[in-house]
Structure 1
Amino acid sequence: MTKLLLCLHVLAAIIAVGPVTVAASMFPPAVRRAQAAGPDAAAVGTVRLLHRICRVYAAVGLAVPVFGFATASSLGVLGDSWLIVSIVLTTGAAGVLALLVLPRQDALLAQLGTGAVPVERSRTAQLAMFTGIFNLLWAVVTILMIVRPASTTGA
């Protein structure tokens, strides 16, 4: 059962978190390109698609900690420090996504859709920074999951 839970946890992480990190990273430059293109429906459509990918896969990503807790419980490592740090970083990444990335994407998409006021580059740069923080947090969690300090695997 542990192997099944671990497989589901890893698959959920790859399938859910991967698309969010890529789409969120592509979003700020896509906004700048869409604005430069003017009233080009295709460019705005790309931005909408990237935002939808982020929102949908963020929801699907809730499966990652669910399977993660089940796996950790099955392995008996819920109290291990590397796992606690991973949980804190995962919570931080989820917070960055939910509170800083997605709302800013919403706002930029709305502003881009009206076309009345041009999108300031500083707003897309700030979004890119928050997206980078989100991606960095997930990279650290991934490393912790692989290295697992004090692991019995010898890695």
Structure 2
Amino acid sequence: MTKFLLAVHVLAAIVAIGPVTVAASMFPPAARRALAAPDDTRATETVRLLHRICRVYAGVGIAVPVFGFFTASAMGVMGDAWLIVSTVLTFLAAVVLVVLVLPRQETLVEGDGTREATVQLAMFTGVFNLLWAVVTVLMIVRPGSTTGA
């Protein structure tokens, strides 16, 4: 059962978090293009699509920590430092996405943003992506783990 839970957890991370990190990273430059050419419907639609991808897959991303907790419980590692740090960083990444990234994307989608807003959004997106990168490394390396690998 542990292998099944781990497989679902990893697949959920790939399928849910991957698209958010890519779409969120693509959003600021796409928003700059749309701001530079307000009559370019293709640029505007690209920004809307990227925002929609981020919103939808952020919701699907809830499966990642849910299956992560089931997996950690089955593996008996709930109290391990690497898992606690990963959980805190996952929570922080979710906060960054929901509080700092998605609302700023929404503002830009509505046409109320500026070029400076895209720079700030790019910074928050970078923080979000960095947090997920650290979580990924911790999940692979598992410092201090006694469960192998």
TM-score by length of 2: 0.96
| Residue pair 2:13, 2:61 contacting (<8 A) in 1 also | yes
Instruction: Indicate the residue corresponding to 2:51 in structure 1.
Output: 51
Instruction: Indicate the residue corresponding to 1:120 in structure 2.
Output: 114
What are the ranges of 5 or more consecutive residues in structure 1 without an aligned counterpart?
113-118
Instruction: Indicate the residue corresponding to 1:28 in structure 2.
Output: 28
Instruction: Indicate the residue corresponding to 1:147 in structure 2.
Output: 141
Alignment root-mean-square deviation, CA? 1.1
Match of 1:33, SS state, is helix
Instruction: Indicate the residue corresponding to 1:73 in structure 2.
Output: 73
What is the number of equivalent residue pairs in this alignment? Answer: 149
1:68-117 deviation line (CA, Å, top 9, x unaligned): 000000000001111000000000000000000000000111126xxxxx
Instruction: Indicate the residue corresponding to 2:64 in structure 1.
Output: 64
Instruction: Indicate the residue corresponding to 2:97 in structure 1.
Output: 97
Instruction: Indicate the residue corresponding to 2:131 in structure 1.
Output: 137
* Distance in 1 of aligned mates of 2:23 and 2:104: 14
Could you list the structure 1 runs, at least 4 aligned residues long, displaced by more than 2 angstroms after superposition: 151-155
Give the letter for the 1:47 counterpart: V
* Distance in 2 of aligned mates of 1:91 and 1:137: 10
What are the ranges of 5 or more consecutive residues in structure 2 without an aligned counterpart?
none
1:97-153 deviation line (CA, Å, top 9, x unaligned): 0000000000111126xxxxxx42211000000000000000000000000012235
Give the letter for the 1:38 counterpart: P
Match of 1:111, SS state, is coil
TM-score by length of 1: 0.93
Q: Are 2:13 and 1:13 equivalent residues in the alignment? A: yes
Give the letter for the 1:20 counterpart: V
* Distance in 2 of aligned mates of 1:69 and 1:61: 14
